[in-house]
Chain A
Amino acid sequence: MEFTLIKPLFGGFLLGLAALSLLFFNGRVAGVSGILGGFLSFRKRDTLWRFAFLAGLVAGGFLLLATFPETLNLNLKSSPPAVMLAGLLVGIGSRMGSGCTSGHGICGIGRLSQRSMIAAVIFLSSGIAAAVSIDLVFGGAI
């Protein structure tokens, strides 16, 4: 039990630290969907720092693959159409709702923003609804 607790807590601590680091150096909220959405829109003149952060995420993935490969043992059972639908929902929903698990879940809740707390309760609830109904109806990933 202790073992399963320490990794999520320590990982969460690193996430908080990384988000604080972005705030300290660049004065921005570490919301991945906001950073990526702004980068993709190409309208704002601040694409460079967005690219730097996103490149860091991707590079961090390679670092994980080299040091703790088990963290990227995805074991993804979902079919391509389901993955595509999930990507669309995540993309549209996170931009419409002004944030995702990082922007609302870490920084927003960390700043005690009521808006983010409500967003987090909603996406946790609909996430539970999706995962539970898929399991009940299809008996596993679709």
Chain B
Amino acid sequence: MGLLMIFLSGVLFALGLGISGMTQPEKVVSFLNVVGDWNPSLIFVMLGASMTYLTGYVFILKRSKPAFARAFTLPTSRDVDRPLVFGSLLFGLGWGLVGFCPGPALVALATGYDSVLIFLLAMGFGMYSFEVLDSRLKGDPDGGAGLIINS
């Protein structure tokens, strides 16, 4: 039952991405290309989504626990550190280059286009390599102390 509700949350998320226009890389790029034929409509996606979340999450967190899990698992870090800054910078460059971010790319898998597959494989490879490298550096007490990804 829990897994089914999680699955349906994913389906609803995909519908939101599709209806909002986020699954169309062309729209995303024309939103980010502020000097071109600028299309500001995607501002309202983030606005609508975060405002909805803001309104609802306070009430959900008042409950003692989630419906199908032992506890709420929320990010605790408050530091604005180098990985946050540098990682977000790289992410944005990739996002603006083609117009895909992780969610929309997974939703677009249904089209079966080569470009979507290439993007997903490269993205998965990037994520996996980072995980491996990051955990290796963190496992070593001195390892990568001078590197930006382990600051």
* A interface residues with partner B (beta carbon < 8 Å): 4-5, 7-30, 32-33, 36-37, 40-41, 43, 48-49, 52-65, 68, 71-78, 80, 82-102, 104-115, 118-120, 122-132, 134-136, 141-142
B24 CB to nearest A CB, Å:
6
B-side contacts of A37, CB under 8 Å: 127, 130-131
B85 CB to nearest A CB, Å:
6
Closest to A113 in B: B75
B-side contacts of A104, CB under 8 Å: 88
Q: Which of A23, A40, A87 has the most CB of B within 10 A?
A: A87
The prevalent SS among residues of A at the interface is helix
Q: Which of B24, B61, B102 has the most CB of A within 10 A?
A: B102
Interface contact tally, CB-CB below 8 A: 503
The prevalent SS among residues of B at the interface is helix
Q: A134 CA to B119 CA in the complex, in Å?
A: 18
Task: Known A-B contacts: A17-B12, A23-B61, A106-B49. Give 8 more (CB < 8 A).
Answer: A27-B69, A52-B4, A93-B91, A96-B83, A96-B90, A101-B103, A102-B103, A112-B54
